[in-house]
Structure 1
Amino acid sequence: MGAADVHRAGVVADQFYANWIRFGGAHARGALASYLGDDIGGLLAQPVLPEVRVALVSVTARLAYILAGASADADLHGLAQRYHLLALDAAAEGGDDRTRAMTLRSMSVQALRMQAPRYAVELADAAVTAVGRTQAGDLRAFVLVQRAHARAVAGEHDDARRDLSAAERSLGRTASGDGPFARYSPAGFAYRSGQVLHRLGHVQPALAALRSAAETRAEHENCLRALSQARLALVLLDQGLIDEACLHGRLFATEYPALRSHRATLMSRELRARLARFRRHPGALDVLRILSALDQQPATAQH
């Protein structure tokens, strides 16, 4: 086992990440679990130079991070927790502070989804600490905007505003590198900051951020783009902007059938519930019927 094996594992990790953000976490999640257990487990059992092992363990941490996020998106939260802990252990062994910070941030996101905002703040705090005070750039923006979101949900609005401002100052300051483990996309930042702003009651800036997220997601980020469209549609419905909400609801419905994502399923259900209040509006009734038909299909991939 040598450097070529580590390089191959890194390429595979990027491929699995791309699969997750294109189709959702439930798509090929089992294949990723098998790859991590069989292929990577087999490599780790072999005798190897210390520096090669450190590099492989770092890739292992990234694979476990991806598998944790995919498991959460498949509504397998117990498994997600196990893989998060595996990612933290591997990151510690590999001296990979970046993946440690990303994993703690992912755990914070999961805690918010499980309606545990105080725990989410604690995890986000740990993620910010893992990045360190001196390191600016996209990683710092990535963890700070999540802490802002957790703090906003927890009612710590002043701290949330400070974190959001600090995240904005850090975004785009990464000197080099590319890919999901090097840079934070502006669309991803816009999506999360839009959630923060909406929670803080800044509706128009929130809409501007969510519109940016929906419009600028990369072509291959189908699942993330669908979630952005749905989130924007929900906020627009809250503001009574029904025509624009219906436009984005239809765009979500276009992406939705190809996804295997519990988050997308929950978004569809929430959209249907909100649209039902406006069923006298022809556009709202049309989107409601489309989503209802998709969710009633027995072979639909989301479930």
Structure 2
Amino acid sequence: MQPRVPNIALRLLLAEAGWTGEALVRKVNQLGAEAGLSLRYQRASVTQWLSGVKPRPPVPELVAEGLSRALGRRVTVGDTGLGRTGETDLSAWWGDSVARLIDPERRALLVGAAYSVAALVVPAWTTVGSARLGAPSQTADDIRVGRPEAASAAAMIRVFSDSDAALGGGYARRALAGYLSTTIAPWLRADTNPGLRRELLTTAARLSYLCGFMCFDDELHGSAQHYYLTSLRLAAEGGDAYGYAIALRALSVQAHHLGHHPQSLDLAEASVRTASTRTPPHSSAFLLGQLAVAHAAVGNRRDAATTLNAADRHLARSVDSTAAVGAYHPASLAHHYAAVAVCFGDRATATRALASSLRCRPHRERRSRAVTLAQLAELQFAEGRLEQACSTWQDFLDDYPLLCSRRADRAMASLRAHARAHRRNPVARALLERASTLTVAAKGPRVP
């Protein structure tokens, strides 16, 4: 056994950041929560790391990400001295877009991957859009891919999209990850004509986007970012500008959700710039709605209002808003009006907009309806309308047992906390009793 070598690199990075060991483990635990992990590291762990102990993944990635955010520059796992011999820095794994589809669970990515702010710096479409269609990186001689395979892959977009919308991301994200790994990746490696390969790349980009959103819904943010970035690369390789735009939008939504508002705005602006003038009206509205929210989050009130109005005008001209990826309809627009109002502290407007969104929401979108109901109940509670909030939460409970979504689970936890605080109120007590019954009866153990 080789003697441990003190980790001078990590010590110097901590000094540069002005961090104590306690500050580092707080950040690691926080980033672990972003990745869907419950970590409980303490100061003693840092003492071990500084002495030369190499923690298991994803801790090195979390340390690197935390220091990157603190220092305002990219810090790799190698820079921290925590990488094991022969180990590569996963955040720098960009080479082969098809390789990114190979079951990332074997790369410790599907569960517990670190979300990286540094990875949000991506090239503009004007830089990547002129690149030639990539040839198969590794030809699979025993696989033949033709029109039937391409059609079957395209049909799976609707299958997985409908499952996600109705039941949440938790049920199908593993199935979709496996499909991308065992079916789509080998097809993309097969020798086929350029037109068919471009079609397969576009389909793969949409499926990767969906897998990212399923991970986002299940609050696995590192994994979600991995699939969104994969979607971005596949769209670039396939020459699909709109696919590139919606992947940028997805990264913007996630960055906004996690509180990285300047980055969210940059990505949303890039997504709108990427879309061509031939983009269908509902697709333009889809991109503009997120840009409005991103403007609002950084306080750009006038830009947010102007962009929302533009989204409204585009949607009014739309004749089809039911796309499997990028669907946008009046319920979506109303939800964006609510999100902008929340950014400016206008709860009354946000409440009205969420109520409008619920009235317009297609019945098949159960998960979105449940999340919106929870958001509306939170606003009603904040306005002191306890019994109205309880009524809204009762509607949420109608949908909740059918969902496998950590966003819905988080809403349920909030519901129970509010109801417990007001259990002397008979309406709140009835809500708490029903919620407790559903939690015990309907929810089995979660698959990570």
TM > 0.5: yes
Match of 1:218, SS state, is: coil
Over 3 Å counting, the alpha-carbon distance change for 1:62 and 1:87 in structure 2 is same
Partner of 1:230: 374
Q: Report the counterpart of residue 83 of structure 1 in structure 2.
A: 227
Q: Which TM-score applies when normalising by structure 1?
A: 0.91
Equivalent pair of 2:235/2:241 in contact (CA under 8 Å): yes
CA distance in structure 1 between the aligned counterparts of 2:244 and 2:417, rounded to whole angstroms: 38
Alignment partner of 2:310 out of 139, 162, 166? 166
CA-based RMSD of the aligned residues comes to 2.2
Following the alignment from structure 2 to structure 1, what is the Cα–Cα distance between the partners of residues 365 and 428? 26
Give the drift of 1:3: 2.0
Pair 187,301 (structure 1): closer, same or farther in 2 beyond 3 Å: farther
Please state if 1:59 is matched with 2:223.
Answer: no
After TM superposition, list the pairs within 5 Å mapping 1:1-303 onto structure 2.
1-132=145-276, 135=279, 137-175=281-319, 178-181=322-325, 183-295=327-439, 299=444
Contact kept? 1:265, 1:302, Cα under 8 Å: no
- Kindly state the Cα deviation for residue 190 of structure 1 after the two structures are TM-superposed: 1.6
CA contact (8 A) 2:370 2:408 kept: yes
Deviates most, 201-210 or 69-78: 201-210
Does structure 1 retain, via aligned residues, the 8 Å contact 2:338–2:353? yes
Distance of 1:94 and 1:6 partners within structure 2: 14
Q: Which has the larger radius of gyration?
A: 2
> What whole-Å deviation, never above 9, does each CA across 1:121-153 have from its counterpart, x for those lacking one?
111111111124675611121122112212222
Q: Structure 2: how far apart are the matches of 1:237 and 1:211?
A: 14
Structure with higher RCO (Cα < 8 A, 6+ apart): 1
Shift of 1:277: 4.3
Which structure 1 residue ranges, 5 or more long, are not aligned? none
Q: How far did 1:18 drift?
A: 0.8
Q: Distance in 2 between matches of 1:272 and 1:133?
A: 47
Contact kept, 8 Å, 1:24 with 1:261, in 2: the verdict is yes
TM-score by length of 2: 0.63
Q: Partners of 1:140 and 1:119 in 2: how far apart?
A: 20
Whether contact under 8 Å (1:264, 1:302) holds in the other structure is no
CA shift in 2, pair 1:111/1:201, >3 Å? same
Name the structure where helix makes up a greater proportion of residues.
1
CA drift at 1:300: 5.5
Aligned partners of 1:260 and 1:302 also within 8 Å: no
Change (3 A) 1:11 1:134: closer
CA distance in 1, matches of 2:236, 2:388: 47
Equivalent position amino acid for 2:170 in 1: A
- List gaps (5 residues or longer) in structure 2: 1-144
Structure 1 residue 53, shift from structure 2 partner: 0.6
Contact 2:208 2:228 in 1 (8 A): yes
Find the counterpart in structure 1 of residue 95 from structure 2.
none
**160-169 or 182-191: which moved more?**
182-191
The CA deviation string for residues 59-80 of structure 1, in whole angstroms up to 9 with x for no partner, is 0000000001111222221111
Report deviation, 1:289: 3.1
The answer to whether the 8 A contact 1:214-1:232 is kept is no
- In the alignment, the residues of structure 1 paired with residue 196 and residue 421 of structure 2 have an alpha-carbon distance, to the nearest angstrom, of 59
Aligned length: 303
Alpha-carbon spacing, 1:9–1:292, altered in 2? closer, same or farther (3 Å): same
* Contact 1:258/1:301 (8 A) holds in 2: no
* Bigger mean CA deviation after superposition, 187-196 or 30-39: 187-196
- Contact preservation (8 Å) 1:57, 1:91: yes
Moved more, 277-286 or 62-71: 277-286
**Matched-pair identity in %:** 33
The alpha carbon displacement at 1:283 in A equals 1.3
Q: Distance in 2 between matches of 1:69 and 1:89?
A: 16
